[in-house]
Structure 1
Amino acid sequence: MPEIAVVTGAGSGLGRAIARRLGAAGFAVVATDVDHAAARETAGSIPGCRSAEHDVRDAEQHRRIAREATERGRLRVWVNNAGVLALGPAWTHPDAEVKRCVETNVLGTVHGSRAAVEVMRDQPGGGAVLNIASFAAFGAVPDLAVYSGTKHAVLGFTKSLNADLRNAGSRIRATVACLDGTDTPMVQRHAGDPKAGVLRHRGRLLDPDEVARHLVDALGSRRQVVCVPPARGVAAQLLGLAPALSLRLTNAAARRHRT
């Protein structure tokens, strides 16, 4: 029976890279995206991959994807990757943009995780849920208040979900990936914005395929939080304990990038 991996937001960028890595690892991948044409393009590049149109803000759509996955095999991996970025001070965003960011990044992760667990808990062998967060989950990042808030929520939710799974004696593992700035279409859409320096203030943007390699390798470990790159992740967590210092360093690095 094939082992199934579902990747949301797989139409481009990191989601596409993760789907390809999972396909190369032997999983039968389901690539989902709100843009079905993009998901089909991803599926066409991975042998045995299927695509599905999927608005992650809708809980029932997650359940449908999970049910359909079990018709093909055992659902072993579920990656909540779909996300949107809101760049700028919190008070500058239209209400609709804030709602879309929170619903996609937070509710999409919560709904997806619950749908995956509902299926995986009835299967022998358990499974893995991987939720994509950001270094922005560790501290104060100017011009990313709304986005950062959603990633703080993803980090906290995943840790608590993992605690629930352990207390229940489940063999399902929940992992949260916290990433530095990654070279994805979501980030590149803001390339001309002066505020975008904060997205890459630690240097060059990461290669999505290299990030995907780290994340797929981490599925076989028991780590609850995976940082890419690891050393920068440790620094980001420590700086999160000193918000004033973190803000000064972030602002200085962003200015260097703009110049």
Structure 2
Amino acid sequence: MNGPKDPTFSKKNKTLKKLKDQVIVITGASSGIGLVTARMAASKGAKVVAAARNEDALKELVEELRGKGYHATWVKADVGREEDVNNIAETAIKEFGRFDTWVNNAGVSIFGHAMDVTNEDIKRMFETNFWGVVYGTKAAVNHFKDRDVPGALINVGSLFGDRGTVIQSTYAAAKFAVHGWTESIRMELEKEKVPVSVTLIHPGRIDTPYNEHARSYLEKQPAHRGMLYPPKAVAEAILFAAENPKRDMYIGSQAKALKVFGTFLPRLTDKLMEVVMYPTQQANRPSKPREESALYHAGYGLHERGTNIGWKRSCSLYVKATKHPILSTIAVASIGATLWAAAKRKS
């Protein structure tokens, strides 16, 4: 799994490469966030290593990208299997000589009360959502250490990794584990002075096939209802972090707000979640049979969007503000000054 060492490496130089000069590994690349990220990364000049369980979807994706003149390869992999994850790294090195960014994106959810979900299903979900991140982290960090070059490790968490929820309680537990792992490994690498940028992505409600792929213990089909963000907003955040060291990227003000309210007003947040989350995580149609879920086998691929219901935003202003904090501060200050001046004139 080792690539060639970079003679230009310096412990003081932690600058990440521009996307056009990068090889980027993306797990869960056959649909949703991973699919959009793969397409966007390729369009910006990056060489893409797309990994997922759906081999047919991966082949079609790579053919699509190569047909546009982009560089891409695919790896059929179940991230819950360490040997599969190591094969992703080996394929990237064999095909492109290295990789510069690793995105742990693959994930699956379970909708149902925690006491109803079988332990077998919970363990399987943790294999994908948590152990897949652990295996991917180790493969990526070992590669960056072996090459002695700065690299980016990007783990996709969730707003439910910052604050627990009902119905997706077991999924929230897995994402809490991902958040804890990411924060801990970041500190250890910093203490060792290993030049790896570790970013945690905090998506809000995203309009992807995530709910269709989930295993359901509900009578009604899982679905997001309410304000939704497009998967391209998450891809935008991921690719920004691939070039710019960032600790956290929140997709949507709802993700940041839930963390803040959950931290400072936990009891009130409990009550709000108990009221709001039941009707906003289900559609008004019967739930699909559990065996059709993507928990144990690949779900359908090449769909960026899902069957969710609500206000579908075209972008995340919060992501754009995070990318340009100085301009955003100036804009907010200018708006505030204008409103203050108007109020003063009226008085």
TM-score by length of 1: 0.90
CA distance in 1, matches of 2:64, 2:202: 27
Aligned equivalent of 1:82, options 94, 106, 127: 106
Query: Which residue of the partner structure matches residue 235 of structure 2?
Result: 212
CA contact (8 A) 2:161 2:175 kept: yes
CA contact (8 A) 1:177 1:226 kept: yes
Matches within 5 A, 1:176-187: 176-187=200-211
Aligned equivalent of 1:24, options 43, 56, 70: 43
CA drift of 1:207 comes to: 0.8
Paired letter, 1:108:
G
1:138 and 2:138 matched? no
CA distance in 2, matches of 1:189, 1:128: 28
1:240 and 2:259 matched? no
CA drift of 1:185 comes to: 1.1
CA drift of 1:12 comes to: 0.7
CA contact (8 A) 1:13 1:185 kept: yes
- Kindly provide the CA deviation profile for residues 128-167 of structure 1, in whole angstroms up to 9, marking residues without a partner as x: 1111110001112011111000000111111111111111
- Kindly provide the CA deviation profile for residues 158-196 of structure 1, in whole angstroms up to 9, marking residues without a partner as x: 111111111111111111101111111122456996484
CA distance in 2, matches of 1:12, 1:183: 11
CA drift of 1:26 comes to: 1.7
The DSSP-based 3-state class of the residue aligned with 2:23 is strand
Aligned equivalent of 1:50, options 66, 73, 80: 73
CA drift of 1:76 comes to: 0.3
CA contact (8 A) 2:207 2:231 kept: yes
CA distance in 1, matches of 2:271, 2:212: 25
Matches within 5 A, 1:1-259: 3-46=22-65, 47-71=70-94, 72-189=96-213, 194=220, 196=222, 199-200=224-225, 203-229=226-252, 231-241=253-263, 242-254=265-277, 257=280
CA contact (8 A) 1:134 1:179 kept: yes
Point out the structure with max Rg over C-alpha: 2
CA drift of 1:52 comes to: 0.8
- Kindly provide the CA deviation profile for residues 28-54 of structure 1, in whole angstroms up to 9, marking residues without a partner as x: 101111111122222223222111100
CA distance in 2, matches of 1:64, 1:254: 39
Paired letter, 1:130:
I
CA contact (8 A) 1:143 1:195 kept: no
The DSSP-based 3-state class of the residue aligned with 2:80 is coil
CA distance in 2, matches of 1:226, 1:180: 11
CA contact (8 A) 1:3 1:73 kept: no
CA distance in 1, matches of 2:155, 2:139: 13
The 1:256/1:148 distance shift into structure 2, 3 A limit, reads: closer
Paired letter, 1:138:
D
Paired letter, 2:27:
T
The DSSP-based 3-state class of the residue aligned with 1:214 is helix
CA drift of 1:3 comes to: 3.0
Paired letter, 2:126:
V
Paired letter, 1:249:
L
- Give identity over the alignment, percent: 28
CA distance in 1, matches of 2:92, 2:213: 32
The DSSP-based 3-state class of the residue aligned with 1:219 is helix
The DSSP-based 3-state class of the residue aligned with 1:78 is strand
CA contact (8 A) 1:182 1:205 kept: yes
The DSSP-based 3-state class of the residue aligned with 1:50 is strand
The DSSP-based 3-state class of the residue aligned with 1:79 is strand
The 1:51/1:252 distance shift into structure 2, 3 A limit, reads: same
CA distance in 2, matches of 1:157, 1:194: 33
Identify unmatched segments of 5+ residues in structure 2.
5-20, 285-347
TM-score by length of 2: 0.68
Structure with more contact order per residue of length (Cα contacts < 8 Å, sep ≥ 6): 2
